[in-house]
Structure 1
Amino acid sequence: MKQLMTTTALEETIATEIAVAVYFAAPNCGVCEALRPKVEALFSEEFPAVKFLYIKIEESPEIAAKFSVFSAPTLLVFFEGKEFLRKVRLMGIQELRDKIERPYKMVFNI
């Protein structure tokens, strides 16, 4: 897990990495804190080739604004530089797994 602090750095990472997941969280957000370890575990165990990034909205409001993140938690998943998935607030781990599995296998030839 890595936290980026600039819009440019995040855009560069999305452009250069094959797959990127960006998890946005807000302060005092119980859902954000409860869900984050589960989402992180999903990516590290099931989709290890996806670069997982964690952004604290209060520390990087310009990034949230640039990516139109107005609610927390928000998960953005990019494949080959294009936004593939946007989940806001309530998201099930099984639902995420189901939505990401097929494109992940296609992109990484698994």
Structure 2
Amino acid sequence: MENHFNSVEEIDQWIDDKPLALLYIFGERCSVCHGLQPQVQNVIERYPKVEMKQVNVNKVPDVAGRFSIFTVPVVLLFVDGKEYVREARVVPMEPFEEKINKIYTNYLG
């Protein structure tokens, strides 16, 4: 996935512009991050109205303060600019998808 951010301002603008935005925050040398990303991507592909992008905390260190991030990876889902889901470090896929499905269904319903 090549859609990376270069600044916190870009991220904030994107979140404001997208009704359903999923931000994946990762670190360069984080094996958990690199293992989790394709799993999250596979879940999100089942929800076409959710746009997923990612940011490397090593390249945009301000993201940690902006979103109160203390570890990576972190998955944040925003609905109309408001944070609805926050998962960090180890993210079990089944409960994660249940949360996404519930929000997605309610949002579109």
TM-score by length of 2: 0.93
CA separation in 1, counterparts of 2:56 and 2:50?
19
- Please report how far the alpha carbon of residue 108 of structure 1 lies from its aligned counterpart in structure 2 after TM superposition: 2.2
Question: How many residues were matched structurally?
Answer: 108
- What is the SS of the residue equivalent to 1:47? coil
- What is the SS of the residue equivalent to 1:105? helix
CA separation in 1, counterparts of 2:12 and 2:64?
12
CA separation in 2, counterparts of 1:4 and 1:85?
20
- Please report how far the alpha carbon of residue 9 of structure 1 lies from its aligned counterpart in structure 2 after TM superposition: 1.2
- What is the SS of the residue equivalent to 1:24? strand
Q: Which runs of 5+ in 1 are unaligned?
A: none
Match of 1:36 in 2: 37
CA separation in 2, counterparts of 1:91 and 1:42?
12
Question: What's the % identity of the aligned pairs?
Answer: 25
- Please report how far the alpha carbon of residue 15 of structure 1 lies from its aligned counterpart in structure 2 after TM superposition: 1.0
Which residue identity lines up with residue 98 of structure 1 in the other structure? E
CA separation in 2, counterparts of 1:69 and 1:17?
22
